[in-house]
Amino acid sequence: MTQFENFVPQLTADGSFTFISQEFGESFHSHFGAKQESFCKFVVPTQLAQSATRPVLRLLDICYGLGYNTAAALETIWAVNPHCYVELIGLELNPSVPQAAIAHHLLDHWNYEYTDILNELAFQYHVQTDHLQAKLLIGDARSSIAQVYQSGFQADAIFLDPFSPPQCPHLWTTEFIQKVAQCLHAEGLLATYSCAVAVRTALLAAGLEIASTPPVVGKRSPGTVAGYQKYHLFPPLSQEEQEHLLTRAAIPYRDPQLNDPAHVIVMRRQQEQQACSLEPTSRWRKRWLLAKGHNHSSS
């Protein structure tokens, strides 16, 4: 158990557990509920319950982590259609994370019936059953995504779940998201917990349509869903969200060769923000706070 001592289970509000990453200084999930987040931010927005009627579904889980998003996806798909054949690729930097989740029995709290599959995936990096072909690619996702694309994999659902943009900017850049979008099927959907406008700008630059997903219980901020076709998506962005895309905050992270360290990517963006003529984000925020205050007082 010694190799997993760095991973101490943290209870979240829905009764499920998460870990805190020492490397990134952040929790792997919202303290409002780790399990809830997997369903609300990833499985529901990518409409897996609706598409589970198909004979085959392909999933790409970026930043596999504890395996919760994959777990929630498999549970949802097979509850609708036990015969659906799932092809899954997970990208993960640190194999100790999914292994620690298994070692600490974190999925036992879900009453989860597919733990054996996730166990095999975490330790062997590959699973083949009658209804599943899954593999975990270990390493920097910027390199792994090229492998996924070259293999011709076209995902029906992509879960984009890195740590926050300030902590893990290299997995939110226009260049990385462009590669991710190339692995999305024409009718597929990508979901992320982030509503950061720098992320939304990168999704738009990759040719995707975007919409907000409802906030997780307890949180104010929405997530984002993206796809090549507008008709499936949630309600369009509000006027406030559209104007946010025109502020300095919307300048995306860039990583031209897909190999820069995080501090270089952050600094590049800061320099671009300082040199640009876009509206300061503070001014946008103030304007909308005033507008909301006015509406509130007049209603």
Report CA dihedral (93, 99, 104, 107) to the nearest 10 degrees: 90
Q: Please report whether residue 57 resides in a domain.
A: yes
Q: Please report whether residue 285 resides in a domain.
A: no
> Would you state the pLDDT for residue 71?
97
Domain range for 83 is: 2-237
> Would you state the pLDDT for residue 104?
93
Q: Please report whether residue 245 resides in a domain.
A: no
> Would you state the pLDDT for residue 33?
87
The owner of tokens 């005033």 is: 290
Burial of 34 (0-12, 13-18, 19+ CB in 10 A): buried
> Would you state the pLDDT for residue 299?
45
Residue 85 to residue 94: CA distance in whole angstroms: 27
The tally of domains found in the chain comes to 1
Would you say the pTM of this structure is higher than 0.75? yes
Nearest to 27 by CA among 50, 11, 46: 11
Nearest to 102 by CA among 87, 123, 81, 85: 123
> Would you state the pLDDT for residue 1?
47
> Would you state the pLDDT for residue 231?
65
Q: Please report whether residue 50 resides in a domain.
A: yes
CATH code where residue 131 lies:
3.40.50.150
pLDDT by residue, tens only, the chain of 299 residues: 457 778 889 998 888 999 988 888 889 888 888 999 999 999 999 999 999 999 999 999 999 999 999 999 999 999 999 999 999 999 999 999 999 999 999 998 888 899 999 999 999 999 999 999 999 999 999 999 999 999 999 999 999 999 999 999 999 999 999 999 999 999 999 999 999 999 999 999 999 999 999 887 667 789 999 999 876 677 889 999 999 999 999 999 999 999 999 999 999 999 999 999 999 999 999 999 888 776 655 44
> Would you state the pLDDT for residue 218?
67
Q: Please report whether residue 102 resides in a domain.
A: yes
